[in-house]
Amino acid sequence: MVDKTIQEFTPEKTTVVGTDTVLIQEAGGGDYTFATVLNLVLDILAAANPVVIGSTLDVSGAIEVASRTTFGIGGFWDAASGGNNRGIKIGGAGLFPTDGDGDASNDTVDIGTAAAAFKNLYLSGGAYIGGTAAANLLDDYEEGTWTPVIGGGSCTNLTGKYTKVGNQVTVTLSVMNGALTSATTAIITGLPFTCGGERSATGAVAFYNLLAADNPLGYIPINASQINFISTNASSSWTTQNFSNSTGVYFNFSATYFV
């Protein structure tokens, strides 16, 4: 049974009580579109005497509002005594938190709680963390694999992984009891991103049956997507370290660089 229709609500008559059911329907019997219904409801809720819902407003079982929640154009907020005096509104191109009067409130509202967390967050842009300057914008996070090519040859039991956070990339490379063949250079190619033009990077190496030097160093040049393997000297030029084709190869390398 329908207790009230949408046409009955006016600024002077805006209270739903008990278990009233509201039928949203045109005067001629047709159905409103969702957008039309939403606009009608917002017009009513923004009237001089806003709607105060004592229990449940039921529109085909879709809307349930707690006591003393106030609705206005573009949002809702809780101004009840003992309430949290917070709300949310849509304005301009943004969705923003409010106080108990529906006014914008800065740095006061959390998204979720320790005991009631949201699941996933989907963003096409980025997130400003700890501030609103360009330096606070985290606009990229990525995890994946890459395919290292050692010395231009072929190697078995080889894996490469990376993590990219903003403009910082960390790569790892691992060979476990592999076999390296046809290697002719001191370079590993195939990095997932090119090293930026301002900073080069180095990484530590642990290996067996792969290089002749005891303490080689992996060096990522600027504007390159490769790792050069060298030995450094206190008073002379760096020495490149070619890979040795061998079986029973063990090799672990990691480095962090910037794109």
| CB neighbour class for 88 (10 Å; exposed up to 12, middle 13-18, buried from 19) | middle
Residue-level pLDDT at 233 = 79
28 pLDDT above the threshold of 70:
no
Highest mean pLDDT among 37-46, 116-125, 128-137, 160-169: 160-169
Q: Which two tokens stand for residue 222?
A: 């600027």
Q: How confident is the model at residue 54 (pLDDT cuts 50, 70, 90)?
A: very low
**CB distance 182 to 154 below 8 Å:** yes
User: Cα separations (Å) of 202 from 56, 145, 161, 224, 255?
Assistant: 64, 20, 17, 13, 6
Query: What distance in Å separates the CA atoms of residue 68 and residue 77, rounded to the nearest whole number?
Result: 9
Biggest distance spanned by C-alpha atoms of the chain: 94
Task: Pick the range with the lowest mean pLDDT from 160-169, 209-218, 244-253.
Answer: 209-218
Strands 154-155 and 168-181: antiparallel
Query: What distance in Å separates the CA atoms of residue 202 and residue 220, rounded to the nearest whole number?
Result: 6
Query: What distance in Å separates the CA atoms of residue 241 and residue 234, rounded to the nearest whole number?
Result: 17
Q: Which two tokens stand for residue 3?
A: 């207790």
Residue-level pLDDT at 31 = 52
Query: For the chain, which domains are there?
Result: 4-128 (no CATH), 142-258 (2.60.120)
Residue-level pLDDT at 46 = 53
Q: Which two tokens stand for residue 26?
A: 């045109």
Query: What distance in Å separates the CA atoms of residue 144 and residue 15, rounded to the nearest whole number?
Result: 56
Residue-level pLDDT at 37 = 56
Q: Which residues, at least 6 apart from 23, have a Cβ–Cβ distance to it below 8 Å?
A: 2, 4, 5, 6
pLDDT tens for 93-147 read 788 888 877 788 888 888 888 899 989 988 889 999 999 899 999 999 999 999 9
Map residue 29 onto helix, strand or coil.
coil
Q: Which two tokens stand for residue 129?
A: 């963390």
Residue-level pLDDT at 52 = 45
Q: Is the pTM of this model over 0.75?
A: no
Query: What distance in Å separates the CA atoms of residue 131 and residue 139, rounded to the nearest whole number?
Result: 14
Residue with tokens 């329907």: 25
Residue-level pLDDT at 234 = 80
